[in-house]
Structures are given as structure tokens and as C-alpha cells.
Structure 1
Amino acid sequence: MKLSVLQSELPNFKIRLLTAADQQALFDLERSNPGYRESLGAGELTLAEIQSDLTAHPEQVSADQKQVFGFYLANHLVAVLDILNQYPEQDFIFIGLLMVGAPYQRRAVGKVIATGLMQAALKSGIHCLQLTRVTADKGVAAFWHQLDFEDGDQLFLPLKNNGRLAVTTMTRLLV
């Protein structure tokens, strides 16, 4: 996804690719959403984890397919969007994370960003968006259902403590 295309669809935000220099701002944003980590069964957030999140990607995906966009209002990071381009198929974008800072939630920020992403994706020749969500998180399910994403398969991801986390794939075809 070209930054310029995404920026043209979301002119009220200053959007830029996040780098290691943005770790503290991203750390603060993620810490404002403790429910997200709880839903994953994850422990205390660390800067090392943030650093890893900025570059981590599946083995079958090249590093240049991953992008982490920061969305700024008044020079303040208000949301993050982590995507994989051309994954799992050529004309797909996989949304790894869309997180809005707690002070900006329930103010349509996430919906505006997701809608802008869909418009930018269409202009970029992308015809499908996909993501996985924690199955038990009904609020996240409702958010994506409002944007016409449809539930797909339920999978179980292994957790560090030998447990399993139920996740559901969601897909939105773009026309």
C-alpha cells in the first residue's frame, strides 16, 4: 500500500510509517488499551515487544510486505494500522492490527481509518481485506461486522503457557 494513496483517502490525519524511533509513542498507545492484551492472554507489555512488533512477519512473507502506519492528529499518535500486503493472496491485504488510542475510541476514528483503507486498497488493485480477531471479543466482532466483514474459519493459536487462543478469520470483499 502506497502511503500517498492512503494519505489521500484520509486527509484529516497525518499518516507516516512507524519506525524504531516511534517505539515509545506506540508503547503508550498500546498501553492505553489493556483489554487488548487481556484478550490475548498476554502479560505486561514491553518496549522489546513493541520493537519486535514493528518488524515481525510470517516466514512466508518478505519484510517489505509489512507496513505499520501511524495516524496523527495535532502531532499526537492516535491510531496504528499494521498490514501485510499481498497476503495471504496477491490481491489481499491482511490487517494484523488496527488499534485506536483509548481517548479516541468510540469517536469513529477506527471506522474512518478502516473505510479509508478500503478505498485506498481499491485504488491500489486490492480486492479483499482479511484479518483474524479473538473469537471471544464481541466488541471487536461488532466493529468489523459494521464494516461488512464476514466471519470465516475459527482457528486456535498456541499460547506461551501451553494454552490455546480461539481466533476467527474475517474477510471483506471490495467491489
Structure 2
Amino acid sequence: MKLATLQAELPNFKIRFLTDADQAELLALEQSNPEYHRQFSPNDLTLAEIHDDLTAHPDEIEAAQKQVFGFYLANHLVAVLDILNQYPERDFLFIGLLMVGNDYQRRSVGSVIATGLMKAALKSDIHCLQLTRVSADTAAEAFWKKLGFDDGDQLFLPLAENGRLAVTTMTRVLV
């Protein structure tokens, strides 16, 4: 996804790629949503995990297919979007994370970003968006269903503490 294409669909935000230089800012944003991290680990979120969030990708894709966008209002990071281009198929875009800072939740920020992403995806010849959400997270389920995503398969992710986390695949075909 070209930054310029996404920026054109979301002109009220300043959007830029996030890098390791943005770790502290991203850590603060993710810490404003502590319940999300607790689903994966009982431990506090660390800068090392933020680094992994910025760089980790499936082995079968190139590092350049992963992009992490920061969304700014008044020079303040209000949301992050982590995507994988052309994954799991060529005309797909996989949403690894869309997180809105706690102070900006329930103000349509997430919906506006997701809608802008869908418009930018279509302009980039992407015809399907896919993601996985924590199955027990009913708020995430309602959010994505409101945007036209449909539930798919349930999978189980291994957790560091020898547990498993149920996740549900969701898909939205773009027309």
C-alpha cells in the first residue's frame, strides 16, 4: 500500500510509516489499551515487544510487505495500523493490528481509518481484506462486523506461557 494512496483517502490525519525510532510513542499508545496486551501475556508490554510489532512478519513473505502506519492528529499519535501486503494471496491485504489510543476510542477514529483503508485498497488493486481477532473479544467482533467483515475459521495461537488463544479469521471482499 502506498502511503500517498492511504493519505489521500484520510486527509484529516497526518500518516507516516513507524520505525524503531517511534518505539516509545508506540509503546505509550499500546499501553493506553492494556486489555489488548493482557489477552496475549500477563506481563507488562516492553520495548522489545514493540520492536517485534514493528518488524515481525510471516517467514514466507518479504519484510517490505509489512507496513506499520502511524496516524496523527495535532502531532499526536492516535492510532496504529499494521498491514501485510499481498498476504495471504496476491490481491489480499492482511490487517495485523488496528489500534486506536484510549483517548480517541468511541469517536469514529477506527471506523474512519478502516473505511479509508478499504478505499485505498481498492485503488491499489486489493480486493480482499483479512484479519484475525481474539474470538472472545466481542467489541472487536462488533466493530469489524459493522464494517462488513464476516467471520471465518477459528484458530488457536500458541502463547508464550504454554497456553493457547482462540482467534477468528474475518474477511471483507471489496467491490
**TM-score grouping bracket, smaller chain normalisation:** over 0.9
> Equivalent residues in 2 for 1:5-24 (5 A)?
5-24=5-24
Partners of 1:53 and 1:160 lie apart in 2 by 15
Contact 1:39 1:137 in 2 (8 A): no
Contact 1:154 1:166 in 2 (8 A): yes
Contact 2:41 2:161 in 1 (8 A): no
* TM-score of the superposed pair, with normalisation by structure 2: 0.98
Partners of 2:160 and 2:72 lie apart in 1 by 33
State the one-letter code of the partner of 1:147. L
Map of 2:57 onto structure 1 = 57
Residues 130-170 of structure 1 show CA distances to partners (whole Å, capped at 9, x for unaligned) of 00000000000000000010000000111112111000000
Q: Quick check: 1:164 aligned with 2:164? A: yes
Residues 96-155 of structure 1 show CA distances to partners (whole Å, capped at 9, x for unaligned) of 000000000000000000000000000000000000000000000000000010000000
Q: Quick check: 1:149 aligned with 2:149? A: yes
Contact 1:24 1:47 in 2 (8 A): yes
Partners of 1:42 and 1:10 lie apart in 2 by 35
> Equivalent residues in 2 for 1:33-48 (5 A)?
33-48=33-48
The SS at the match of 1:40 is coil
Partners of 1:17 and 1:127 lie apart in 2 by 23
Residues 9-28 of structure 1 show CA distances to partners (whole Å, capped at 9, x for unaligned) of 00000000001111110000
After TM superposition, give the deviation of residue 42 of structure 1 in Å.
4.4
The SS at the match of 2:57 is coil
Partners of 2:12 and 2:161 lie apart in 1 by 42
Q: Quick check: 1:71 aligned with 2:74? A: no
State the one-letter code of the partner of 2:77. L
How high is the sequence identity, in percent, across the aligned residues? 74
Q: Quick check: 1:117 aligned with 2:117? A: yes
What are the ranges of 5 or more consecutive residues in structure 2 without an aligned counterpart?
none
State the one-letter code of the partner of 1:71. F
* TM-score of the superposed pair, with normalisation by structure 1: 0.98
Map of 1:95 onto structure 2 = 95
Partners of 2:40 and 2:114 lie apart in 1 by 22
Contact 2:15 2:71 in 1 (8 A): yes
State the one-letter code of the partner of 1:166. A
Please tell me the root mean square deviation across aligned C-alpha atoms, in Å. Answer: 0.7
What are the ranges of 5 or more consecutive residues in structure 1 without an aligned counterpart?
none
Q: Tell me the number of residue pairs that the alignment of Structure 1 and Structure 2 aligns.
A: 175
After TM superposition, give the deviation of residue 40 of structure 1 in Å.
2.4
After TM superposition, give the deviation of residue 51 of structure 1 in Å.
1.1
Task: Please identify runs of 4+ aligned residues in structure 1 that moved more than 6 A.
Answer: none
C-alpha distance 172-71 of structure 1, shift in aligned 2 (>3 A): same
